[in-house]
Structure 1
Amino acid sequence: MQYNKAELEARLQREIMQTMPHRWRNRFHVEMPFGFTGSVKGFLRFGEEHYIFLQWNPFSTEDKNKGWVLVKTRDFIRYSMPQLVLWPGEDMDRDGCGSGCAYVEDGKLRVLYTGRRTEGEVRDNRQILGTLDGGVIRKDGVVIKEPPEGYTHLFQGPFRFTQGGKNYILLGGQAEPEDDPRGCVLIYREEEGEWKFEDELSTQLGFFGSVWECPIVERFGEQEVLFFSPRGVKHLEFAYQNLFQSGYIAGRMMATDQTMLHASFRELDRGFDFFVPYTAQFDGRHVMIGWMSMPHRDEDYPTAELGFMHTLTMPRELTLKQGRVYSRPAEELKDLRIEESRKDIESCEVKKLQMELFEGSEGYLRITFGHAEDVHLIFHYGEEKLVLTYRREDAVLEIVRNDMALGGKGGRRFRLPIGDTFHVRFFQDKSAMEFFFQHGEEAASLMVFPKEDVRPVLEVKSSSRMEKVVGTVWELDPIQYNLQ
């Protein structure tokens, strides 16, 4: 596809500033106003600002021909206008600019990304180095041309990191044979300006999916956490219920030995719409932004008929406790709250209560069960509804969206032992919803597409009286885009 930077950025500016966007266009989630919004492919602090690179196909809602756009922010509330910085064109990336990373080297902002090429039915990926220069990523050249022997061309998503004074690249990979492939991570080491293949990262997972995507390693205190997204993991009753998964293993990674000693794989998010998150470390914090999408499920996203599709999660701060990653919304997001319209909740010995929410809401509920054995959180959209149910008897939380007329259907179930008090924090945008349970022990991201343009009504109920329901609901301002 032929990219025209000036024309596309002018259209972005016009449409992102619309005063009356469609009822499914989100208010406080970053997304492109037209085309295919892809996942974050670089996220870091550079100077005084956070730089967020994400994929974008401006020509259709198809997952192809993607370039990268850049948005900058100091506070996750006010953002720069999206700027087109990378697009396919040369032979090395003619079919799209794929997954990658961004980092600072010698005062310059560098990127590594997968250049997509297809020869007939065969994918021919290669890893490309670039430098942000004058508002555009200059393509400096191919640094890894082909996968090592024994691995398929599904090697992608380079992530650069430093350990023990040496520079390394992780690549998501797939071991042959192609008729019975196995997901893995490949490690390369920098040696005199060249990238040398070391080995496959040795883990205790064995066969765990057919391909691993977008590996990222972050250090939390004395441990490393390897984030990645495996495809082809067997579905279980209370885990791995999406088409593709995203999660992590925590332990010790020794890059020099290409080994990692770790605990079991855990999912980062239990919702329907979450994939290939990206993490960044700054100011002593680990912050993650996920992609609210599920590949190969285009029928779940009716916005495609309107010419736009997908969004990003709000930034989440991650902490590691006893080998488990907890997530909570970034502290800066509290500045979106409108205190004048705040609603406080406090009810005792009640079976049911309900309230109308806003066009965009944040809510926190603390529900003390008492004699109640279950609790239902029902988001009503006229005659449609989204239902969350927690049952104490089996310590299972279930999310069901079968009563929404449009978009994806089905349910998600996972175990969540909580004792006598249920904590839930939620963010309800026009179509994007994010939930955090038990102070971030679990999270769930999902999309809903109400037929009617109505404010949702939240109903909290139980089959028996709940001892106490306490909480607060805030109306949220939309994020802002600075025209300069």
Structure 2
Amino acid sequence: MREAFTVDKANFFIENNKNKVDEKYRHHYHVMAPIGWVNDPNGFVYFQGEYHLFYQYYPYDSCWGPMHWGHTKSRDLIHWEELPVALAPDKPYDKDGCFSGSAIEKDGKLYLMYTGHVEKNDRTYQTQCIAFSEDGIHFEKLCQNPVIDEKILNTNGTIHDFRDPKVFLRNEKYYSVVASKNEEDKGRILLFESKDMLNWSFTSILLEGDATQGIMWECPDLFHLNGKDVLIMSPIQIPKKGDEYHNISSTVAFIGLVNWETGKFSVENYHEIDFGFDFYAPQTLEDNQSRRIMIAWMQMWDRTLPTHDLAHGWAGAMSLPRELSVKDNQLIQKPITFVYDSLNITQAIHALTVSSNTITFDNSVGDNMYMRLLIDMTEADELTIQLAKVGESSLQMHYDCQTQKFILNREKIGYKLEGREQELLVQRQTQVSLIDGQLEVELFRDTSSVEIFLNKQKTMSTTFYEIIKGKNLEISSSGIAKIITLEFGQIKT
């Protein structure tokens, strides 16, 4: 019989084993667990003057296991304080995992709404449950759990795939969007409502997918922003479409309007959120400045994980938090404002021309690195950037002025990262329009990850694990490219 899990047991294990973790690929300012496996961000919330982030967590190994909820908090979303494990799978209704969910403040208390996961007779059963806390650190599960079960779900979804509740307050009523699917393996987002967070009822099928939109939708989040309703979610096995959805699982933003009389979402546009290799299960909060902020798991399912294979004792991290807006029915992301408060610019270069020559910036690349390149491409055809260059190894970026495509390639850096995609995925690309003939590349590197922000239009997030450290940056072009500004810096940690 499996040994029982408890919060106390998890915290004892962490405290006595976290010093055994290999630090080689660990980050400086991105959220990680002190030891073990991390996936989806959960319970991202602003509570009592601080940002709290929970996450799917298995402390006992660097691979997925029965899910706990890890917990950390911050005042600026850059410097994080690790807190005790919040939830463990210790009840009959969640004995095989406390799966993903969300958080909300009610009457000065912090409530977590999560999925109780049970394996029984070779079948999965998933229900929605609640825990609460007076201090935001120590949580008690409701004796009435589960609060949304098979009876309330009825025939509106399958209890075997029914997870990831995102709870929110609207017009003095609590709502929760929950992921499920229909009998034809098409994604379905369900809407539930409650007056007290305890007694819930089914409202509607908010949105349902078709055969081109994946076999299951996960981690929904619904919010209103800049006059539009936005529903973000993570489809499993959504087929490739042009430059979009090349990962085995993707993240998508549906933009439109909710009819709150019928509980139906009218979609005006939908598109992929991030065009890199490692970005999944994003979740958002609204803070005390009315900013809508998003964070995601900076990893991808079914991929090689060197920190596990090399027995480093940990796997997975969160993305840099991003501030959101909607413009022209597109979800726009920018780095969290706080990051610039902690940014130390160490070098700034201006008015430099790149033509047939390759310009090398020696020793400009480190584990904790910021780079901003603003470059005039009006007389150029192509631009190539090689980051962490050493010998033949580098993370390669390329911009083609004719197609206006930005390409990210990680084939020639570090360990081979394989997945369940039909072909080895080493390159991704996305359309980035020049602005007044200029391209801006803003890059945040943190040991084993890079997040790229392109012309305030698109983002690309990727992990990589160098075998030999590369410290140089190389820039070359076809035609004449004129560097307006090139800045290097570090995030103060």
What is the TM-score normalised by the length of structure 2? 0.89
Name the count of aligned residue pairs: 470
- Give the AA of the match of 2:474: E
Look up the match of 1:158: 165
- Give the AA of the match of 1:427: F
Q: Secondary structure at 1:111's aligned position in 2?
A: strand
Q: Retained in 1: the 8 A contact 2:389–2:473?
A: no
Q: Does 1:256 align with 2:261?
A: yes
Q: Retained in 2: the 8 A contact 1:203–1:261?
A: no
Q: Retained in 1: the 8 A contact 2:166–2:176?
A: yes
> CA separation of 1:133/1:163 partners in 2, compared to 1, >3 Å: closer, same or farther?
closer
Look up the match of 2:214: 209
Q: Does 1:477 align with 2:492?
A: yes
Q: Deviations over 1:178-203 (max 9, x none)?
A: xx311010111226752111221146
Q: Retained in 1: the 8 A contact 2:33–2:70?
A: no
Look up the match of 1:394: 403
Q: Retained in 1: the 8 A contact 2:322–2:333?
A: yes
Q: Secondary structure at 1:389's aligned position in 2?
A: strand
Look up the match of 2:140: 138
Residue 424 (structure 1) shift: 0.7
Q: Retained in 2: the 8 A contact 1:15–1:33?
A: no
CA distance in 2, matches of 1:325, 1:372: 29
Q: Deviations over 1:441-473 (max 9, x none)?
A: 100111010002x25322111122213342211
Q: Does 1:123 align with 2:124?
A: yes
CA distance in 2, matches of 1:157, 1:256: 24
Look up the match of 2:472: 457
Look up the match of 1:376: 384
Residue 405 (structure 1) shift: 3.8
Alignment of 1:56-455 (within 5 A): 56-133=57-134, 135-140=137-142, 141-146=145-150, 147-149=153-155, 151-152=157-158, 153-176=160-183, 180-190=184-194, 193-202=198-207, 208-282=213-287, 283-297=289-303, 299-304=304-309, 305-339=311-345, 341-350=346-355, 351-355=357-361, 356-383=364-391, 384-408=393-417, 410-418=426-434, 420-439=437-456, 441-452=457-468, 454-455=469-470
Q: Secondary structure at 2:340's aligned position in 1?
A: helix
- Give the AA of the match of 2:232: F
Greater Cα offset, 36-45 or 134-143: 134-143
CA distance in 1, matches of 2:212, 2:351: 50
Q: Retained in 1: the 8 A contact 2:110–2:133?
A: yes
- Give the AA of the match of 2:466: P
CA distance in 2, matches of 1:396, 1:306: 37
> CA separation of 1:89/1:11 partners in 2, compared to 1, >3 Å: closer, same or farther?
closer
Q: Retained in 2: the 8 A contact 1:31–1:37?
A: yes
Q: Deviations over 1:223-258 (max 9, x none)?
A: 211111111211123111111110211121123312
CA distance in 2, matches of 1:174, 1:73: 35
- Give the AA of the match of 2:410: R
CA distance in 2, matches of 1:361, 1:15: 29
Q: Deviations over 1:256-305 (max 9, x none)?
A: 312112222111111100000010011121111110111122x2444443
- Give the AA of the match of 1:368: D
CA distance in 2, matches of 1:82, 1:459: 41
> CA separation of 1:142/1:264 partners in 2, compared to 1, >3 Å: closer, same or farther?
same
Q: Secondary structure at 2:300's aligned position in 1?
A: coil
Q: Retained in 2: the 8 A contact 1:203–1:262?
A: no
Q: Deviations over 1:319-341 (max 9, x none)?
A: 111211111111111233234x3
Query: Among the aligned pairs, what percent are the same residue?
Result: 22
> CA separation of 1:311/1:424 partners in 2, compared to 1, >3 Å: closer, same or farther?
same
Q: Retained in 2: the 8 A contact 1:226–1:248?
A: yes
CA distance in 2, matches of 1:164, 1:208: 31
Q: Secondary structure at 1:290's aligned position in 2?
A: strand
> CA separation of 1:462/1:412 partners in 2, compared to 1, >3 Å: closer, same or farther?
same
CA distance in 2, matches of 1:25, 1:15: 16
- Give the AA of the match of 1:457: N
Q: Retained in 2: the 8 A contact 1:387–1:401?
A: yes
> CA separation of 1:407/1:280 partners in 2, compared to 1, >3 Å: closer, same or farther?
farther
Q: Secondary structure at 2:380's aligned position in 1?
A: coil
> CA separation of 1:433/1:314 partners in 2, compared to 1, >3 Å: closer, same or farther?
same
Q: Retained in 2: the 8 A contact 1:365–1:425?
A: yes
CA distance in 2, matches of 1:308, 1:338: 29
CA distance in 1, matches of 2:78, 2:15: 17
> CA separation of 1:114/1:459 partners in 2, compared to 1, >3 Å: closer, same or farther?
same
Q: Retained in 2: the 8 A contact 1:300–1:407?
A: no
Q: Deviations over 1:9-58 (max 9, x none)?
A: 4664677789x962211111110132101221111111111111112100
Q: Retained in 2: the 8 A contact 1:212–1:231?
A: yes
- Give the AA of the match of 2:368: G
Residue 132 (structure 1) shift: 1.8
> CA separation of 1:248/1:205 partners in 2, compared to 1, >3 Å: closer, same or farther?
farther
- Give the AA of the match of 2:485: V
Q: Retained in 2: the 8 A contact 1:16–1:32?
A: no
> CA separation of 1:84/1:349 partners in 2, compared to 1, >3 Å: closer, same or farther?
closer
> What value does the CA root-mean-square deviation take over the aligned residues?
2.3
- Give the AA of the match of 2:347: R
Q: Deviations over 1:47-105 (max 9, x none)?
A: 11111111210011222211112211111233222321111111110111101010011
Stretches of structure 1 lacking an aligned partner (at least 5 in a row): 479-484
Q: Retained in 2: the 8 A contact 1:9–1:82?
A: no
Q: Secondary structure at 1:344's aligned position in 2?
A: strand
What is the TM-score normalised by the length of structure 1? 0.91
> CA separation of 1:428/1:45 partners in 2, compared to 1, >3 Å: closer, same or farther?
same
Greater Cα offset, 381-390 or 180-189: 381-390
- Give the AA of the match of 1:372: A
